[in-house]
Amino acid sequence: MDAAAVNMITRDLLVTGMILAAPAVAVSLFVGLVISILQTLTSIQEQTLTFAPRILAVGAVMVLCAPWTIRVMSGFMLRMMNHFVEAGQ
């Protein structure tokens, strides 16, 4: 396996990881922003108030995105198996 193949595999790994993390991170960011705005409007400055809604929202997104996540991970695994087969020849 040459350096170009290793670079391609590493890039594929990082891009797939970012794609898989994006929905949970985006929802966490959005919920945190909404809660922060509500805290500012109501002058409630409790730091722990944002954790429960964020955890629930991220959990719900992970459950809803599970089939898509499995398809993306399966595609990645198939690509990696093909690279390993090609490297073994």
- The answer, yes or no, to whether residue 83 has pLDDT greater than 90, is no
Packing angle, helices 66-88 and 51-64, rounded to 10: 60
Cite the DSSP H helix spans in 1-89.
3-42, 51-64, 66-88
Q: What pLDDT, on the 0 to 100 scale, is given for residue 75? A: 96
DSSP 44: -
In this prediction, residue 47 has a pLDDT band, given cuts at 50, 70 and 90, of confident
Provide the number of structural domains found in the chain.
Answer: 1
Q: Residue 89 has what pLDDT?
A: 67
DSSP letter (8 states) at residue 48: G
Distance between CA atoms of residues 40 and 34, nearest Å: 10
Rounded to whole angstroms, the Cα distance separating 89 from 78 reads 17
Average pLDDT rounded to a whole number, residues 63-76: 97
Domain that holds residue 70: 3-88
pTM here is 0.81
